[in-house]
Chain A
């Protein structure tokens, strides 16, 4: 079985503020295939369009151009029952583990509402069992969690409950928008481990959105690097992180503060990002790129360089015998 569960066809997003327009996301086409389950990272700095992409995939935001198809049907035109099915199967985990809880309810409430909504026929005991299973799947002891109030739990526990909430109704796709950026470094490992076990044990496809390539490298199978709404590089995670080809990806990877005394920051100095939005044609990274050349004024295409490794940079010659389709390279 290799049916695409979620397809993005030429999806782009334009935000208009008065007379100004900001291209938050330039046209992107790729599918999230149902099988085999994978974790795909979408990486980039603030303003790169990664959260816009997540909101479009979740159906929270309509694309300016293009279509999002869920099991072959346009998400914006789903009927009531179809939309419920989409909502059930495409779940989200957000950045802030503190903001999503209502402090007046026990955490059970957060877990129980989606079960009641999507599985109304379940008995109380069956609901409880589903909740316990979901909590165990993210590495929490149900007896320590159920019946507690949010303030009694740590940030790491709350974020894992958020993951449990998303999986309690057994979705096919999980969109995790910066799930660990507000959690202490020592607790991140637990949440990431929970994500990996979801892929292994429940076959959930995960879109992991982050600016932290260290954690991306540890959990994901493939990566899409965005800069100002355009894909700079994409492909197999180990290939992209271990031998980045695009100057922007190289900048991202060289900026990681590796917890390793042998691997210090290099001496390369990079230009600061412009405050103004760059409009018009040309490589988005032009103004900051250490290797820019006159030819970069033309927008570069995303082309294959190696098997499962694409980049959009003039420095590299495309390999004509390889597939340039983004989905095939993820």
Chain B
């Protein structure tokens, strides 16, 4: 089966007064139609940068320095700005982290959805657009009268669902949801994630869920990509990630999770993530790794690819 999304060698840097921070380094990622991928990592590991780079929304001092983001045979990075504008929302859409701040406070929800639609199809009739807006609202389980409301009249969870409704208005092939629930409490979080899964299934798009909550990944994702200091260190199906993780970082991440069975045990990951300005030589994780080998300090580990585009970047798996 042809891949819907094919990212190769994507590199993004931020240029600041202190120097060059490599936020994404030669990242590869492939995704099929309808697949659900969780993108996890600590703050500063590059997961949001990755989402923004796919949308071509990296702003200075950030710069995409290489690679390609091919969706359905077209490289997003080679398109003109005008063409890219057309692709956003219709081919690939982005549901931002703070729904609270991403809606315009002085416009009714209806107006914001019409604007988004008109930007792509200026000649469509208003009642036709409203019909679609209504359907989008129903698919996120919000009553139709929410269209007539202003953002301040809605709760956090409702606002986030409005953002999802706008995100799916044009039935994109790929939805990127960047920590859509980080500001919500557990009950609302569950509702939002379940809504996201339902609409994803309904329109058959691929879904990339960015976050650091492994619990959410276990509940609803097919595959998990683990990021560390600007690189994807492992991509695997969710089963393997939770039961037999390959990369030592993934292993540490999984064993640090609080579960019902290990009450009162705390296993944090010792040390802290490196600064992107001063990355260690060799493997970026080696100073914190408990299975370190001599070559880890000098050589970057190669990608060991398994079947179905899964891979791990670690010297331990070099032979296979």
Q: How far is the CA of A264 from the CA of B217 in the complex (A)?
A: 11
Contacts of A272 in B (CB 8 A): 157, 191
Report the minimum CB–CB distance from A42 to chain B (whole Å): 14
CB-based contact A252/B155 at 8 Å: no
Closest to B215 in A: A257
CB-based contact A45/B186 at 8 Å: yes
CB of B130 within 8 Å of the partner chain: no
CB of B26 within 8 Å of the partner chain: no
Partner of A258, one of B153, B154, B215, B269: B215
Which of A124-132, A168-176, A209-217 participates in binding chain B?
A209-217
CB of B194 within 8 Å of the partner chain: yes
CB of B267 within 8 Å of the partner chain: yes
CB of B257 within 8 Å of the partner chain: yes
Which of A28-36, A67-75, A108-116, A184-192 participates in binding chain B?
A184-192
CB of A218 within 8 Å of the partner chain: yes
Q: How far is the CA of A218 from the CA of B260 in the complex (A)?
A: 8
With A189-B268, A261-B238 already in contact, the answer to whether A256 and B256 are too (CB < 8 A) is: no
Partner of A155, one of B43, B213, B217: B43
CB of B8 within 8 Å of the partner chain: no
Q: Considering residues A46, A157, A264, which has the most beta carbons from chain B within 10 angstroms of its beta carbon?
A: A46
Partner of A45, one of B185, B215, B267: B185
Q: Considering residues A184, A188, A192, A275, which has the most beta carbons from chain B within 10 angstroms of its beta carbon?
A: A184
Contacts of B243 in A (CB 8 A): 261
With A156-B272, A186-B269 already in contact, the answer to whether A270 and B212 are too (CB < 8 A) is: no
User: Can you list 7 A-B contacts with CB-CB less than 8 angstroms, sorted by A residue number?
Assistant: A185-B213, A214-B258, A251-B187, A258-B259, A260-B215, A260-B260, A272-B157
8 A Cβ contacts from A251-270 to B = 251-252, 255-261, 263-265, 270
CB-based contact B212/A45 at 8 Å: no
CB of A3 within 8 Å of the partner chain: no
Q: How large is the interface on B (under 10, 10 to 19, 20 to 34, 35 or more residues)?
A: 35 or more
Q: Considering residues B187, B254, B256, B265, which has the most beta carbons from chain A within 10 angstroms of its beta carbon?
A: B187
Contact with A along B190-207 (1 / 0, CB 8 A): 110110000000000000
Partner of B242, one of A213, A261, A265: A261
Q: How large is the interface on A (under 10, 10 to 19, 20 to 34, 35 or more residues)?
A: 35 or more
Q: How far is the CA of A190 from the CA of B252 in the complex (A)?
A: 13
Report the minimum CB–CB distance from B277 to chain A (whole Å): 12
Report the minimum CB–CB distance from A172 to chain B (whole Å): 23
CB-based contact A218/B266 at 8 Å: yes
Q: How far is the CA of A46 from the CA of B185 in the complex (A)?
A: 7
With A184-B212, A186-B256, A217-B263 already in contact, the answer to whether A255 and B186 are too (CB < 8 A) is: yes
Q: How far is the CA of A256 from the CA of B216 in the complex (A)?
A: 9
Closest to A217 in B: B263
Partner of B260, one of A46, A217, A265, A270: A217
CB of A238 within 8 Å of the partner chain: yes
